[in-house]
Structure 1
């Protein structure tokens, strides 16, 4: 019984340590989380003509990176809304492609 308590306490301590570390990470990313549009908000922006459809933007990115796998697409709010399309290239590189959501122009690759 005592051994079980020691193991449980060790696991709990490890989880708390991990939780403490991960609690620091969102503070740095809090702004970016607030800047992301929800899927409903993105759909509304697309339907109102404020931004291009995500599938069109993904098509533009795929033409720049043939054979790349699209991992994620996010629409970021702002005066100049941007899509961030996360891809995995055929060579195995993970790249974030930043695209102007109104024009479809690729602004940055990081």
Structure 2
């Protein structure tokens, strides 16, 4: 993939994912201290500086995945804020990628 194409694809994915995270935010309602309102939890965490912006996370993980992101979610798992990405790899398989929302570190990459 050429560098120019990769950058264009990454920017397009970021724009789509930014819209998707707004609509597809999903946090655990069972965790204490969470409002139960997904978008409020994500907004509060971002505004408080406790998680990285989605665009920054996409820039970090983009070079590490070989595929196109099709879905983005924000959630808390065991009290840890995560971005969950679904992407289609070069072989056409859908995969799930879990990224620590505080650090941008990929925690898990598995088949969907």
Q: So what's the TM-score if we normalise by structure 1? A: 0.59
The match for 1:35 among 28, 35, 59 is 28
Paired position in structure 2 for 1:91: 91
More relative contact order, 1 or 2 (CA 8 Å, 6+ apart): 2
Q: 1:93 to 1:59 in 2, by over 3 A?
A: farther
- The alignment of Structure 1 onto Structure 2 pairs a total of residues equal to 77
What is the deviation of 1:52? 0.8
**CA distance in 2 between partners of 1:95 and 1:59 (Å):** 18
1:5-84 to structure 2, matched below 5 A, reads: 35=28, 38-66=38-66, 68-77=67-76, 78-84=78-84
CA distance in 2 between partners of 1:60 and 1:73 (Å): 15
SS at match of 1:76: strand
The 2-side partners of 1:42 and 1:34 are apart by 8
Q: Is the 8 A contact 1:58 1:85 kept in 2?
A: no
Give the aligned partner of residue 32 of structure 2: none
More strand by percentage: 2
User: Which of the two has higher C-alpha Rg?
Assistant: 1
Query: TM-score normalized by structure 2?
Result: 0.58
Structure 1 gaps, min length 5? 1-32
Distance 1:49 1:34 in 2: 18
Larger helix share, 1 or 2: 1
Root-mean-square deviation (CA), in Å? 2.1
